């Protein structure tokens, strides 16, 4: 009945008929309410029916959300939903909404880069303390961290210094640790001053990969690093990851260098060991990612490596992507002939449209990504500007890997309420919430990105329905096969039920305590 009435109401926007505002009946307000309900029904999660228990939890969540939004409206300087993450993070961490999201199962994480996936704070407390860690500065002025002296490889312009010795000689170890963390974290108190343009932040961002690459790929370090990547995700209620990885040479204490195959073997060993300890973690699948600035011959060589990996582990190494700053990299169309050589069993997961530009090679990558039958689109920030494409994405059920904090930190948008993800959610365009490179901006897990998704991208009135849909989207749009998805959905359902009970029990205890006081 509501649907029929809503259709009638919508006709008022396309017909010349006007509503008589002086009428004594409530037609105007009925039509207005029906239009609002219709729009809500068309958005992500609009078709989802909540159980009675979920309705109770939604009421609790919405109380937290509305209180926080109203406080932000009264005091804009405390409105975390509109603020840059570097300034909002302390506010977010005190938020009841955030604590709710931390308890919420999140299903799968489908866009995470291997070398920026661990919190910088943990790296400082752990990896930076390992014996033998060295630092030099290369010819571009970039700090290089490593466990081996190889001036030619690292292009050092300075002598190597031992990190442990530097730390011991410093006046304050805490201050030294903060300066060390600054090498691997974009955080600044004043991002608007330190990163006035996208070039400033991307230059620093890409330099940090140069800083950590040799450091992380020291074999003893890489094993614990990868374990920590899994653990930070698992602790944030993630049960499965599709990880973008690039092969680097691993090396050990004796200086022995290991081939690409060993890199993959180490990943599989660590994941298997992690699953033995945490059986409800369902594992990792790998998307082979190479830099989009490589020459054509090198891309072709890397594709051959991908094929080798895929044929050896067809259910683990499942995809291919090009990464790096899209505005400065080569467009997808430059590699069409190479893409033709990739077997159909290897899926594409292209970064595309990670730009503010319109009508450039970067946003035109969206056309090629869709024509090449990409399984998902990384970022897809510019998709909203291309109506034919976003309609095609919706019809073909191609999910957009939306990474709110990444898009903000890397200078595409300051106020996340203006992020095109809001449009994607309003149109029920397939979306999965992802975190991209959380270690490089002081985040971990998905809770921070979910905070912005529900507080900034979603309607003020959106609650558990949209959250639940986004969580289940993460499984639906994963590359898990039918049997694996059944297992994942079963695990997620059990976790979701426990989550609901936990929220309700916590709320009852709080209410009882208030009553007693």
* Active site residues per annotation: 354, 379
| DSSP bridge partners of 399 | 376
Quote the tokens at residue 23.
């009428």
- Give, for 284, the enclosing helix (H) or strand (E): strand 284-291
What is Dmax (Cα atoms) for the chain?
88
Among 345, 403, 412, CA closest to 378: 403
**At which residue do the structure tokens 């169309």 appear?**
333
Spatial contact of 376 and 403, defined as CB atoms under 8 Å apart: no
Give the three-state DSSP class for 488.
Answer: helix
- φ/ψ of residue 239, rounded to 5: -110, 0
Give the three-state DSSP class for 294.
Answer: coil
The runs of H, that is alpha helices, within 330-439 are 336-339, 361-371, 387-396, 404-409, 421-426
Alpha-carbon span 219 to 226, nearest angstrom:
11
Question: Mutual orientation of helices 2-14 and 27-42 as an angle, nearest 10°?
Answer: 100
Buried b / exposed e across 139-158, counting CB within 10 Å, b at 16+? eeebbbbbbbebeeebebee
| DSSP bridge partners of 144 | 136
Alpha-carbon span 230 to 245, nearest angstrom:
14
Cβ–Cβ contacts within 10 Å for residue 296, how many?
Answer: 12
**Nearest 10 degrees: Cα torsion 167, 168, 170, 172:** 90
- Give, for 311, the enclosing helix (H) or strand (E): helix 296-312
Alpha-carbon span 117 to 212, nearest angstrom:
12
DSSP states of 183-212: TS----S-HHHH--SHHHHHHHHHHHHHHH
């Amino acid at each position: 009945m509501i649907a029929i009435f809503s259709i009638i109401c919508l006709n008022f926007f396309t017909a010349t008929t006007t509503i008589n505002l002086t009428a004594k009946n409530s037609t105007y307000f009925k039509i207005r309410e029906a239009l609002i309900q219709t729009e809500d029904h068309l958005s992500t999660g609009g078709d989802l029916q909540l159980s009675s228990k979920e309705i109770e939890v939604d009421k609790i969540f919405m109380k937290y959300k509305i209180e926080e939004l109203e406080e932000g409206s009264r005091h804009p300087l405390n409105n975390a939903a509109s603020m840059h993450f570097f300034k909002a993070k302390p506010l977010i961490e005190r938020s009841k909404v955030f604590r709710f999201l931390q308890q919420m199962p999140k299903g799968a994480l489908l866009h995470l880069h291997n070398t920026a996936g661990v919190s910088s704070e943990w790296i400082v407390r752990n990896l930076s303390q390992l014996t033998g860690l060295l630092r030099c500065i290369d010819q571009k002025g970039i700090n290089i961290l490593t466990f081996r002296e190889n001036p030619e490889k690292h292009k050092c312009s300075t002598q190597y210094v031992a990190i442990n010795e530097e730390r011991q000689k410093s006046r304050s170890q805490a201050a030294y640790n903060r300066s060390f963390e600054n090498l691997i974290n974009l955080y600044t108190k004043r991002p608007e001053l330190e990163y006035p343009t996208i070039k400033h932040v991307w230059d620093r961002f890409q330099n940090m990969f140069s800083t950590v690459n040799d450091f992380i790929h020291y074999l003893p370090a890489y094993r614990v690093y990868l374990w920590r990547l899994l653990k930070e995700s698992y602790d944030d209620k993630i049960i499965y990851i599709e990880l973008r990885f690039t092969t680097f040479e691993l090396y050990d204490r004796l200086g022995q260098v290991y081939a690409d195959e060993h890199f993959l073997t180490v990943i599989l060993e660590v994941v298997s060991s992690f699953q033995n300890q945490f059986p409800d973690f369902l594992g990792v699948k790998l998307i082979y990612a190479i830099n989009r600035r490589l020459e054509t011959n090198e891309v072709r060589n890397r594709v051959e490596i991908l094929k080798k990996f895929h044929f050896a582990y067809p259910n683990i190494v499942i995809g291919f992507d090009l990464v790096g700053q899209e505005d400065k990299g080569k467009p997808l169309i430059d590699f069409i002939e190479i893409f033709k050589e990739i077997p159909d069993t290897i899926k594409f997961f292209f970064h595309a449209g990670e730009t503010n530009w319109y009508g450039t090679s970067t946003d035109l990558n969206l056309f090629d990504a869709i024509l090449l039958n990409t399984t998902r689109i990384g970022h897809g920030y510019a998709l909203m500007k291309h109506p034919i494409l976003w309609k095609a994405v919706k019809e073909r059920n191609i999910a957009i890997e939306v990474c709110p904090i990444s898009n903000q930190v890397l200078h595409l948008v300051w106020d996340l309420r203006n992020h095109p993800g809001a449009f994607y959610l309003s149109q029920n365009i397939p979306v999965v919430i992802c975190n991209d490179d959380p270690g490089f901006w002081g985040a971990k897990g998905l809770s921070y990105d979910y905070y912005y998704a529900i507080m900034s991208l979603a309607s003020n009135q959106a609650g558990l329905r949209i959250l639940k849909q986004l969580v289940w989207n993460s499984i639906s749009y994963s590359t898990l096969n039918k049997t694996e998805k059944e297992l994942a959905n079963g695990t997620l359902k059990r976790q979701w039920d426990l989550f609901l009970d936990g929220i309700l029990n916590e709320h009852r205890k709080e209410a009882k305590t208030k009553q007693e006081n």
